[in-house]
């Protein structure tokens, strides 16, 4: 009884009060951030009332509301020649699978209320990470089916591109995580978070990104490709084929759009869990007490839970903002570049990462060497970024 009740409450808190509103807010954030990136003003029209002759637009915050109303009241249209049943099911698939993945992500520590230990994670499974990938891999059927069932050539091309892209990047995505599994020794997401507790080498957080910086970069790139957003938005490619959702209107289109933003939240949550220590901060949250350097004080279990949820939420939010910024910074890949990146760069790099991680974990099971190696790699990456691309003189072009 207590399990059913707590699961419902967790679902309401995490999915209905955190993930879905965040996804809706991201539609606004994308508009604002793209406006800043492109030196525009951004959304200014939707408003409820005027004050002193000026419309109160709240920085465009009312636009998601206006969008939702528009989506709900438009006619839901399906072409006569489409496969009606599949056409109707397709938008739900991506959305539902993304929500299932969300249920496996721990969003806070285990809390104790009235003698009951309640994990702040909706579903806890021994092979949780594998289920994340399993349901993540099912998500592509939404795009593929939408493209097929619309009976429209451009939509079909979008669907074909989506499935080819998903298959190519799924392999790299699965292999990058193997290094993380080797470092933390578990496939259960809350255990992975627990393994990232505290410090390593005495001064660094024991996070996945310190131990596996290379895997973190590969994972982020491959997972961005799975969300089908720029620079990997070939299935959509609005300037060439419009996309697999070409024949959708009303809430069908709305579900694709919301599903895309939910996927951003899911990817951020997964990245935070695997590489950024989930709901914990190394110097602040200990086992059951909070220590800020010299002070340390005990908090009740529920307060630690709320604090953990807050920290997790902030990490997820920052990662979402990073993804949106990337979407507005990078141009779309060409199709051959996409395949080249997936098969010839990410896949071999992931295999090398597995091998190197295996050797280093075998050499030092306390992960010390792995951490030093990770630090060296991060310094190298930062230096590469500072050095910038090779200067090519005008004559060489």
Q: Which residue has tokens 């060497």? A: 369
User: String of b and e for 177-196 (b: at least 16 CB within 10 Å)?
Assistant: bbbbbbbbebbbbbbbbbbb
166 contacts other proteins (rule: CB under 8 A): yes
164, 172, 346, 360: residue in contact with other proteins (rule CB under 8 A)? 164
372 contacts other proteins (rule: CB under 8 A): no
The SS3 of residue 160 is helix
The SS3 of residue 136 is helix
46, 57, 78, 134: residue in contact with other proteins (rule CB under 8 A)? 134
Q: Which residue has tokens 């080498």? A: 201
Going by C-beta distance under 8 Å and a sequence separation of 6 or more, which residues neighbour residue 188?
A: 124, 125, 126, 127, 128, 129
339 contacts other proteins (rule: CB under 8 A): no
316 contacts other proteins (rule: CB under 8 A): no
147 contacts other proteins (rule: CB under 8 A): yes
- Residues 194-253 interacting with other proteins (rule: CB under 8 A): none
Residue 279 Cβ vs other proteins, minimum distance, rounded to whole Å: 23
Strands (E), 82-160: 110-113, 116-119
Q: Which is nearer to other proteins, 145 or 360 (CB)?
A: 145
Going by C-beta distance under 8 Å and a sequence separation of 6 or more, which residues neighbour residue 142?
A: 90, 91, 92, 93, 94, 95, 97, 256, 259
| The two three-digit tokens of residue 100, written as one number | 């299932």
Q: What are phi and psi of 307, to 5 degrees?
A: -60, -45
Q: Which is nearer to other proteins, 86 or 290 (CB)?
A: 86
160, 199, 242, 375: residue in contact with other proteins (rule CB under 8 A)? 160
Q: What's the rounded Cα separation, in Å, for the pair 292 and 170?
A: 40
- Residues 92-131 interacting with other proteins (rule: CB under 8 A): 125-127, 130-131
169 contacts other proteins (rule: CB under 8 A): no
Count of Cβ atoms closer than 10 Å to residue 231 Cβ: 18
Q: Which is nearer to other proteins, 125 or 199 (CB)?
A: 125
Q: Which is nearer to other proteins, 141 or 373 (CB)?
A: 141
- Residues in contact with other proteins, total (CB under 8 A)? 30
**Within 13 Å and on the Cβ side, how many CA atoms surround 383?**
6
Per CB under 8 A, the segment of 22-30, 79-87, 269-277, 286-294 that binds other proteins is 79-87
Q: Chain centroid to CA 24: how far? A: 15
Per CB under 8 A, the segment of 21-29, 153-161, 305-313, 389-397 that binds other proteins is 153-161
138, 199, 242, 369: residue in contact with other proteins (rule CB under 8 A)? 138
Q: Chain centroid to CA 263: how far? A: 6
299 contacts other proteins (rule: CB under 8 A): no
133 contacts other proteins (rule: CB under 8 A): yes
Binding mask 14-53 for other proteins (x = CB under 8 A): ----------------------------------------
Q: Using CB under 8 A as the criterion, which residues of the chain lie in contact with other proteins when the complex forms?
A: 83, 85-86, 125-127, 130-131, 133-138, 140-141, 144-145, 147-149, 156, 159-160, 163-164, 166-167, 170, 187
């Amino acid at each position: 009884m207590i399990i059913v009740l707590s699961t419902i409450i967790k679902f309401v808190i995490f999915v209905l009060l955190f993930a879905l509103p965040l996804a809706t807010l991201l539609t606004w954030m994308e508009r604002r951030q793209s406006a800043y990136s492109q030196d525009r003003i951004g959304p200014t029209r939707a408003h409820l009332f005027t004050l002193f002759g000026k419309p109160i637009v709240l920085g465009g915050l009312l636009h998601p509301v206006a969008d939702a109303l528009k989506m709900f009241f438009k006619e839901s249209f399906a072409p006569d020649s489409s496969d009606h049943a599949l056409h109707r099911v397709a938008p739900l698939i991506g959305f539902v699978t993304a929500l299932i993945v969300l249920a496996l992500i721990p969003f806070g520590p285990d809390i104790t209320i009235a003698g009951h230990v309640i994990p702040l994670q909706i579903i806890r499974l021994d092979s949780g990470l594998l289920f994340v990938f399993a349901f993540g891999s099912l998500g592509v059927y939404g795009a593929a089916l939408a493209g097929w069932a619309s009976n429209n050539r451009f939509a079909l091309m979008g669907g074909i591109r989506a499935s080819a892209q998903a298959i190519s990047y799924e392999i790299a995505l699965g292999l990058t995580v193997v290094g993380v599994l080797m470092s933390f020794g578990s496939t259960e997401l809350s255990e992975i978070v627990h393994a990232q507790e505290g410090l390593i080498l005495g001064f660094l957080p024991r996070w996945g990104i310190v131990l596996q910086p290379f895997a973190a970069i590969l994972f982020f790139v491959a997972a961005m490709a799975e969300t089908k957003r720029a620079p990997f938005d070939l299935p959509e490619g609005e300037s060439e084929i419009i996309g697999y959702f070409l024949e959708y209107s009303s809430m069908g289109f709305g579900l694709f759009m919301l599903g895309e933003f939910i996927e951003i939240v899911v990817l951020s949550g997964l990245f935070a869990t695997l590489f950024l220590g989930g709901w914990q901060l190394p110097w602040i949250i200990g086992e059951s007490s909070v220590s800020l350097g010299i002070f340390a004080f005990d908090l009740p279990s529920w307060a630690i839970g709320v604090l953990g949820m807050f920290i997790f939420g902030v990490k997820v939010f920052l990662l979402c903002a990073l993804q949106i910024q990337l979407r507005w910074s990078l141009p779309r890949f060409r199709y051959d570049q996409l395949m080249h990146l997936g098969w010839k760069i990410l896949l071999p790099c992931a295999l090398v990462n597995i091998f190197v991680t295996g050797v280093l974990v075998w050499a030092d099971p306390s992960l010390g060497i792995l951490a030093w190696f990770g630090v060296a790699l991060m310094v190298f990456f930062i230096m590469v970024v500072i050095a910038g691309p090779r200067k090519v003189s005008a004559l060489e072009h």
